Structure 1
């Protein structure tokens, strides 16, 4: 039997997920302002700190971003001196992204951010891990 009542905001899973995403991103802002990058730029830098020299497409896959969104982010990071982009010699359509010295140094400052966030959220490591696992389970089901 179909329910013809209008959906209520308080009954929806999407709304608290939307709000928490927005709020968590906002909590990162002061820490990222200190090191001179935005939250989307921070995500790109984390990908490159894990593995330098990825292509734009590989970064986009990891972050679920298309090149139209990613390219302006990369341009701004390059203008700040954190990365450089190089066309692959074998195939000039492929652009690889490399950390500059400033981008490598930025990692030292960024290493402090996760503990600052945990302190700000006032959650135990166990609570954070449980939350992350639950969210990852949902994400895995969506992406199948």
Structure 2
């Protein structure tokens, strides 16, 4: 750590945050044409992934998984509902909770999206082991940073 504190003014290309940011931009550029075929944005795709793992989730459950607050998530869910992929239903036990349910069209979309991960894997040019190790390390780093802020 001391080498960072004693270093001269940071250079953009040496910043981990810039590497992560620019990687995210590059990933989104590859996803964009793949998701356009499904009429989804990347953020909407992430919501659908959560729902394909388990239908009928509350907005807060989806937000926790995606690290998004309800102010960011609500417009995404409304657009997915307008597209016919999900339904928003108030909980019968607690009207403050909104439950997000897949529609038949939303379930069918999963089959159309099935090849996306293979295409992304090919585009990344890494082995499955390398990508798994990288994902685990990035998740560890994210979790450490979240604990640091909390």
Tell me, yes or no, whether TM beats 0.5.
yes
Shift of 1:5: 3.2
Ranges in structure 2 where 5+ consecutive residues have no aligned partner = none
1:101-120 correspondence to structure 2 within 5 Å: 101-120=104-123
Structure 1 segments unaligned to the other structure (5+ residues): none
Q: C-alpha offsets along residues 110-138 of structure 1, whole Å, 9 cap, x if unaligned?
A: 11100011112222212211211221121
Instruction: Write the mapping of 1:57-68 to structure 2, written as runs, cut at 5 A.
Output: 57-68=60-71
Length-normalised TM-score, structure 2: 0.90
Q: 1:121 aligns with which of 98, 120, 124?
A: 124
The aligned counterpart of 2:14 is 11
What is aligned with 2:77?
74
Deviation at 1:44, TM superposition (A): 0.3
Within a 5 Å distance, the mapping from 1:1-144 to structure 2 comes to: 3=6, 5-144=8-147
Single out whichever of 78-87 and 21-30 deviates more from structure 2.
21-30
Normalising by structure 1, we get a TM-score of 0.94
Q: Deviations over 1:38-66 (max 9, x none)?
A: 10000000000111111111111111111
Alpha-carbon distance between aligned partners in 1 of 2:100 and 2:51, rounded to the nearest angstrom: 8
How far the C-alpha of 1:4 sits from its partner, in A, is: 7.6
Q: 3-state DSSP class of the match of 1:7?
A: coil
**How far apart are 1:140 and its partner, in Å?**
2.2
Looking at structure 1, the residues matched to 58 and 64 of structure 2 have their Cα atoms a distance apart, in angstroms, of: 10
